Amino acid sequence: MKSIYKNKRVVQFLEKHFPDSPISVWTDWKWHLQNSIHQIHYLSKFLILSDEEKSAFELSGFHLPFLISPYYLSLLCQKNDTPLRKTVIPVQSELIKTTIEKNDPLDEKLYSPVPNLVHRYPDRVLFLATDTCATYCRYCTRSHIVAKHTVHASNAEWKPAFDYIKNNPQIHDVLISGGDPLMMSDDKIDFLLSEIRKIKHIQLVRMGTKVPAVLPQRITKELVKILKKYQPFFMSLHFTHFDEITEESSFACKMLADAGIPLGSQTVLLKGVNDDILEMTKLMKALLTHRVKPYYLYQCDPIPGSSHFRTTVQKGLEIIEGMRGHITGYSIPHYVIDAPGGGGKIPLLPDYTTIHEDGSVTLRNYEGKIFKYPV
């Protein structure tokens, strides 16, 4: 990464909002956590809030607290109309709850045999390591459990989950999520990964995180050294919009990829944020050039107060079809709905085929041209 002294955004942001802090603090992830903004009277010093944003803070009843790191806030200050603003600053629409919305839309509690663990698929489990994040996304699927504690779960509190995995040899894959597991200390992450790797039937360990997008300074040499010990180890990175591709996030991805850690991306389809073919294409192409394979494009889950974020399913299909054939297939994610009620991820594809009674298939390509595949 280029010297932070040459990063105009960083220099201007610190000079204006943290004049007593040396520029060297920008690379310290713990400084960002200590200076995170979580109250309106602080936020209003950085941004001119709209009436809808102001009224949102004045009202009560939100299912998720407000929290944003100085790094991520610097992206909002640089570009006042960035779509990222909609994803992290609450608006009054969050108080509108429709009949289809649920606190736990995926019914993860029903599939939780022990605390901190969700076992929905036969051969894999979801390990919820913590409930804290560096920045809270307003569309968070687990908003009903995020930000409920001030400290991470203790090692002893994880023991029932370890024991459950040990006692179920059909489990071969552990996905660590939360909250964001990279909010834990290096020692705690090392302990968690080592305990999981001690279980002989575990073949693959994965981790889901938004840290490279919201707090890339957390990806340190020390952390990467720990993560690379536990290969095969995969990471799913949550990127939402091209504006999250910065010098800092690019360097974080480079460090992880250079360590031999396969990287995939997860993006949530959000109305007014990334529900546009050109914007989505721009993001997916950028991710691939940073060695992050676009993996999932999620339909927004029906959590309370999310109706202003949800697009139609048809919109998602249009975006996938609009990218197909115009960019490499490596850049096109799987468009999925995580089925309400615990049905799991179900892929959706545009209608490219017609199957006839004689068994032949009519195919439509990305240009709309028709081809026939014979019996």
Q: What is the pLDDT of residues 7-35, one digit of tens each?
A: 999 999 999 999 999 999 999 999 999 99
Cβ-count burial 340-369 (b if 16+ within 10 Å, e if not): eebeeeeeeebeeeeeeeeeeeeeeeeeee
Structure tokens given for 327? 């960019």
The active-site residue, picked from 121, 164, 230, 295, is: 121
CATH 3.20.20.70, the chain: domain bounds: 108-347
Judge whether 238 and 210 are in contact, CB under 8 Å.
yes
Q: Is 301 a catalytic residue?
A: yes
| Candidates 85, 86, 138, 142; catalytic one | 142
**253 annotated active-site:** no
Q: Is 229 an active-site residue?
A: no
Q: Residue 49 and residue 126: Cα distance in Å, rounded?
A: 38
The hierarchical CATH code for the domain 108-347 is 3.20.20.70
Say what the pTM is: 0.94
pLDDT tens digits, one per residue of 32-89:
999 999 988 899 999 999 999 988 888 766 778 899 999 999 999 987 788 999 999 9
Is residue 35 within 8 Å of 71, Cβ to Cβ?
Answer: no
206 part of the active site: no
Q: Is 307 exposed, middle or buried (0-12, 13-18, 19+ CB in 10 A)?
A: middle
Told to judge if 85 belongs to the known catalytic residues of this protein, a careful annotator would answer no
* Given the residues 120, 188, 218, 310, the one annotated as active site: 120
Residue whose structure tokens are 């990305």: 366
pLDDT at position 61: 66
Selecting among 85, 138, 301, 335, the annotated active-site residue is: 301
Query: 85, 139, 140, 275: which one is catalytic?
Result: 140
Active-site residue flag, 291: no
Which structure tokens are listed for 268?
């949530």
CA 21 to each of CA 16, 35, 312, 327: distance values in angstroms, whole numbers, following the listed order: 11, 11, 45, 44
300 is catalytic: no
Pick out the chain residues at pLDDT < 50. none
Q: 76 CB contacts (<8 Å, ≥6 apart)?
A: 46, 47, 68, 82, 84, 85, 88, 89
Active site residue 335: no
